[in-house]
């Protein structure tokens, strides 16, 4: 049950629908396999999952947009094997992680039963903050002057005079 009301945020934000859907979605996360999420640097993260008994051929990583899916499926075990006590969990699993925009999987490594997934946030240059120059003067817009300067600087956009 949700104990806080986020409806006022709907009135003052634009484009955060996916975030609100995630907050409203109260699906329980599976508790196996256990995992850690750590922040290594400003734009670097690591997901570490304990997947003892799984090999690199048994685990599949897939990124669909902002969703990272980790699926573990064990191959059929040897039929002639008789287990007297099974304490090592070897059941199949599917774990889904919702990633922020522009977060990509940089690398994945399976060593000593620990799956490490390195993530990095790569914001495109055109989406990074930029300083806007403020013109002083007549108070009228200089859009035509700016456009003509852009055309003069871009030789591919110039048209031939007849």
pTM for the structure as a whole = 0.59
Instruction: Give me 107's structure tokens.
Output: 């690398």
Q: Which residues of the chain have pLDDT under 70?
A: 1-30, 76-78, 138-162
Instruction: Give me 160's structure tokens.
Output: 């031939």
What is the predicted pLDDT for the residue at 162? 43
What is the predicted pLDDT for the residue at 146? 59
Instruction: Give me 162's structure tokens.
Output: 């007849």
Start-to-end CA distance of the chain, whole Å, equals 72
Q: What fold characterizes domain 30-77+84-126?
A: Immunoglobulin-like (2.60.40)
How many Cα atoms sit within 13 Å of 97 on the Cβ side? 22
- Where along the chain do its domains lie? 30-77+84-126, 128-157
């Amino acid at each position: 049950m949700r104990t806080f009301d986020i409806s006022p945020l709907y009135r003052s934000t634009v484009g955060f629908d996916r975030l609100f859907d995630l907050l409203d979605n109260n699906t329980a996360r599976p508790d196996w396999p256990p995992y850690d999420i750590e922040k290594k640097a400003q734009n670097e993260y690591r997901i570490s999952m304990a997947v003892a008994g799984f090999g690199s051929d048994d685990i599949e990583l897939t990124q669909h947009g902002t969703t990272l899916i980790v699926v573990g499926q064990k191959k059929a075990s040897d039929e002639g094997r008789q287990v007297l006590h099974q304490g090592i969990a070897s059941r199949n699993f599917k774990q889904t992680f919702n990633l922020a925009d522009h977060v990509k999987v940089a690398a994945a490594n399976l060593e000593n039963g620990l799956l490490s997934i390195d993530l990095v946030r790569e914001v495109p240059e055109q989406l990074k903050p930029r300083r806007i120059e403020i013109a002083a003067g007549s108070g009228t817009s200089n859009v035509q002057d700016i456009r003509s300067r852009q055309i003069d600087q871009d030789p591919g956009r110039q048209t031939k005079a007849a």
